[in-house]
Structure 1
Amino acid sequence: MQDSESISVNGGEDKDFVVVERPTARVVLPANGNGADVNGDTDDESHEDEEQGEVGEGDYLEDFPDDTEDLELIHARLSSLTCLRLERFGNYLKKLCLRQNAVSQLDPEVFGVLKKLEELDLYDNKIKTVGEALNELTNLTTLDLSFNLLRNVPEGISHLTSLKTVYFVQNRISKITSLESLGTTLRSLELGGNRIRHIEGLEALVNLEELWLGKNKLSKLESNRITKIEGLEMLVNLEELYLSHNGIERLEGLENNLKLKTLDLGTNFIPSIESISHLTSLEELWLNGNKIPTLQELEPQLQSIPTLETIYLEGNPCQQAEGANYRRKIALALPQVKQIDATYVKLP
């Protein structure tokens, strides 16, 4: 139901002023008329309709005023947005959340009128293509298309020139494309859990600060591994980089990423940490689940990084080789470190 609208009036000697908190709609759709309620309780005959996300006819947002700025319709079994009559909110709507529904197609006529929209959340639906549906959303700053069925980065994203944050987690994307026009605005890009084999198509994103590429297929096809990290040379403002669960063999290719604060390379094939001492802004380093055999090289490579506070090395051969002395030896070699794996450092 709609959150109550609060109005406060302050009197003054010359004039009064009114502050209005715009209404936010957190919508719970009624039973769809075929025996299924919004909590998922169904009889046997209604099960198929529920899986298809049918909610029946009617204007489910009729109780909400035209100037509603925030709409949330989560897990509402929506397969079509036509019944919502979203065009009515076109002059005011800034946030639209449609998480965990069954939406498979995005209609340009529905989204084309929502030109004030700043945040669009379509997490966990059944979207395969976006087409031109979002092309008019030039004020959009955040877009979440995670857990859908996308095979490509939507070409239409090039029209969304105000985008700062984009989520494409857990789709079927195999190649990074169509991001060139977002070079000056995009700050955060999440592409984890896809099928990407090469880091490419990022050259224009010179202001990117956060990049997630974990759980992809970064490797050379002939060896199922990648000898070093490539494709990040132009990302000079990158502060957080997540490349865990790939096929990376060498900790190289980060020569220009001097602003890195968080580097996650967990669960790869890295045998040493050479070529990292230049990352003097680094605060967190994740190397758990790699192939580092000993702790001997830690001190010369990492002691010159005064900002380093957290390091993850568990699951490497060096942990087993050192046994009970593993964390103590790291703490003595790197006195600036405050956390080793999930344990805070406590030395006498």
Structure 2
Amino acid sequence: MSLETEETVEVVSAIAPTTSDPSEVAPVTTGTATTVSRDVSGDKGKEKGGNVVANVSVDNEGTRRSGPTARVVLPEAQVDADDTDEEGEDGEKREEEEEDDGDFLSDFPDETPVRMSSLELRFGADVDGCTSGWFWIGSLANLHLPRFAAYLRKLCLRQNLISHLDPEVFHQLTLLEELDLYDNKIKHVGDALDRSQNLTVVDLSFNLLRSVPDGLEHLKSLDTLYFVQNKISKITGLSHSVTLRSLELGGNRIRKIEGLDSLVNLEELWLGKNKITKLEGFSTLKRLKILSLQSNRITKLENLEDLKELDQLYLSHNGVERLEGLEHNTKLTTLDVGSNFIPAIENISHLTNLEELWMNGNKIPDLFALDTQLRHIGTLRTLYLEANPCHKQDMTGYRRKVMLALPQLTQIDATYVRKS
């Protein structure tokens, strides 16, 4: 598919006031960036059906908005009148072709006082199967990001072809708080982020990392780290990340839960789709509320006694053979042990805060335990038992029996309960 036209996409930045007097707030600076508009689609937060190439917008609190707060065109001197469309000899409008210099933010020259606190450049979706490097950001140097260093706090460069983080760029972005580099080609981080001491959120999911970057140990404000779908085989490099509250390492090659002892403030740990065979390494994670280990190789529920604050436990698609080891996890509201080899509903009658129980796809032969294990749990609202022998052997009567045994339910499997 040949590209026939270029589209103009507005790049907008709004100002977070530095004074309580509105009259003293400097004007908003905006511009237009001549770039190619691409459809952006995919998972994990990727926008679907959109045509966003450059999108910048913040409100007075510095948080993202759905739309700009103001639009002020750059001074006339910034726009060359000769850049407008001209008429050809045949009377048809033609567009003047310009050579791309790689700076998608060229409308913001270095001397422009831009108070931009949030910048998003998301490229890289397919155009009818045609992929060209011209459409992607492969290098950060040409973006001249340091021109925004005085105010930039959020930087999103997901879905590009970035393979290298230039220390000269990031060492000047000292106010940066959130960095999104999801879906690029990054193999190493090095010391690029050493001086970004204000970073709280870093997303390096869907890259080519083989280990947790050592340089992150120097970041004293880290709150959330995403390393989904990389090639990490061992959890290392987090011994000084004591402020971390959420860690996501799903879709890697991890075989053992280790290296987490210093994460005493961790509340969420996501380790799904790895190669983990044993539950261990949790003794210091006393604040943990969410633990996800779906799609691993775990055969036994054990070593969870220190997780007394645990609220959600996800262990579906493993090899668990018995429901046990949850004696101290009385705050659980969600328990997912679907698609395992569990033969009975047992040892959970003490989980009186339970709201959702997923035991679908196991080996449960009957419904007798519903009365003794679950009936008294008044908070229980959702129960999944489909794809067990007790369901397959009585497809017509199964649902009614569950409703009679557990009248508090509002959902059985994927269907809501109709109250008569």
TM-score over 0.5 for the pair: yes
Match of 1:62 in 2: 106
Secondary structure of the 1:299 match is helix
The question of whether the paired residues in 2 share the 8 Å contact of 1:215 and 1:245 is answered with no
Q: Partners in 1 of 2:330 and 2:380 — Cα distance?
A: 14
Deviation for aligned residue 1:122: 1.1
Q: Partners in 1 of 2:313 and 2:412 — Cα distance?
A: 19
Q: How far does the alpha carbon of each residue in 1:30-79 deviate from its partner, in whole angstroms, 9 at most, with x for none?
A: 2xxxxxx4538xxxxxxxxxxxxxx9534322334532111111125111
Q: How far does the alpha carbon of each residue in 1:242-269 deviate from its partner, in whole angstroms, 9 at most, with x for none?
A: 3333333333444444433333333333
1:97/1:341 Cα in 2 relative to 1: closer, same or farther (>3 Å)?
Answer: same
1:62/1:158 Cα in 2 relative to 1: closer, same or farther (>3 Å)?
Answer: same
Q: Does 1:239 align with 2:297?
A: no
User: Which range is displaced more, 105-114 or 299-308?
Assistant: 299-308
1:245/1:107 Cα in 2 relative to 1: closer, same or farther (>3 Å)?
Answer: farther
CA RMSD of aligned residues (A): 3.3
Q: Does 1:297 align with 2:356?
A: no
User: Which range is displaced more, 198-207 or 148-157?
Assistant: 198-207
Find 1:130's aligned residue among 177, 189, 196: 189
Deviation for aligned residue 1:80: 1.0
Match of 2:229 in 1: 170
Match of 1:3 in 2: 12
1:227/1:124 Cα in 2 relative to 1: closer, same or farther (>3 Å)?
Answer: same
Q: Partners in 1 of 2:333 and 2:29 — Cα distance?
A: 36
The question of whether the paired residues in 1 share the 8 Å contact of 2:300 and 2:322 is answered with yes
Q: How far does the alpha carbon of each residue in 1:96-127 deviate from its partner, in whole angstroms, 9 at most, with x for none?
A: 11111111122222222222112111111112
Match of 2:68 in 1: none
Q: How far does the alpha carbon of each residue in 1:207-255 deviate from its partner, in whole angstroms, 9 at most, with x for none?
A: 33333222222326xxx94332356554443333333333333334444
Find 1:111's aligned residue among 170, 173, 180: 170
Deviation for aligned residue 1:320: 0.8
1:250/1:347 Cα in 2 relative to 1: closer, same or farther (>3 Å)?
Answer: same
Deviation for aligned residue 1:323: 1.2
Q: Partners in 2 of 1:79 and 1:217 — Cα distance?
A: 32
Q: Partners in 2 of 1:302 and 1:128 — Cα distance?
A: 49
The question of whether the paired residues in 1 share the 8 Å contact of 2:14 and 2:115 is answered with no
1:322/1:96 Cα in 2 relative to 1: closer, same or farther (>3 Å)?
Answer: same
Letter in 1 for 2:398: Y
Letter in 2 for 1:249: E
Letter in 2 for 1:39: R
Find 2:358's aligned residue among 274, 280, 286: 286
Where structure 2 has 5 or more consecutive residues not aligned to the other structure, the ranges are: 1-9, 40-98, 125-135, 279-295
Q: Partners in 1 of 2:319 and 2:34 — Cα distance?
A: 45
Task: Give the TM-score of the pair, scaled to structure 1.
Answer: 0.78
Q: Does 1:17 align with 2:22?
A: yes
User: Which range is displaced more, 301-310 or 111-120?
Assistant: 301-310
The question of whether the paired residues in 1 share the 8 Å contact of 2:13 and 2:30 is answered with no
Letter in 2 for 1:217: K
Letter in 2 for 1:228: K
Q: Partners in 2 of 1:242 and 1:25 — Cα distance?
A: 46
User: Which range is displaced more, 94-103 or 141-150?
Assistant: 141-150
What percent of counterpart residues are identical?
Answer: 62
Match of 1:188 in 2: 246
Secondary structure of the 2:160 match is coil
Secondary structure of the 2:397 match is helix
Q: Partners in 2 of 1:256 and 1:26 — Cα distance?
A: 58
The question of whether the paired residues in 1 share the 8 Å contact of 2:175 and 2:198 is answered with yes
Q: Partners in 2 of 1:195 and 1:261 — Cα distance?
A: 29
Q: Does 1:314 align with 2:393?
A: no
Deviation for aligned residue 1:84: 0.8
Taking the TM superposition and a 5 Å limit, the aligned residue runs for 1:1-348 are 1-3=10-12, 5=14, 17-18=22-23, 30=35, 37-39=36-38, 57-64=101-108, 65-76=113-124, 77-183=136-242, 185-219=243-277, 225-230=297-302, 232-348=304-420
Deviation for aligned residue 1:7: 10
Where structure 1 has 5 or more consecutive residues not aligned to the other structure, the ranges are: 9-14, 31-36, 41-54
Q: Partners in 1 of 2:357 and 2:349 — Cα distance?
A: 12
1:16/1:280 Cα in 2 relative to 1: closer, same or farther (>3 Å)?
Answer: same
Letter in 2 for 1:156: G
Secondary structure of the 2:11 match is coil
1:306/1:181 Cα in 2 relative to 1: closer, same or farther (>3 Å)?
Answer: farther
Secondary structure of the 1:322 match is coil
Letter in 2 for 1:337: L
Match of 1:47 in 2: none
Task: Give the TM-score of the pair, scaled to structure 2.
Answer: 0.66
The question of whether the paired residues in 2 share the 8 Å contact of 1:310 and 1:339 is answered with yes
Deviation for aligned residue 1:343: 1.1
The question of whether the paired residues in 2 share the 8 Å contact of 1:144 and 1:167 is answered with yes
Q: Partners in 1 of 2:337 and 2:215 — Cα distance?
A: 31
Secondary structure of the 1:324 match is coil
The question of whether the paired residues in 2 share the 8 Å contact of 1:7 and 1:18 is answered with no
Secondary structure of the 2:202 match is strand
User: Which range is displaced more, 277-286 or 138-147?
Assistant: 277-286
The question of whether the paired residues in 2 share the 8 Å contact of 1:195 and 1:217 is answered with yes
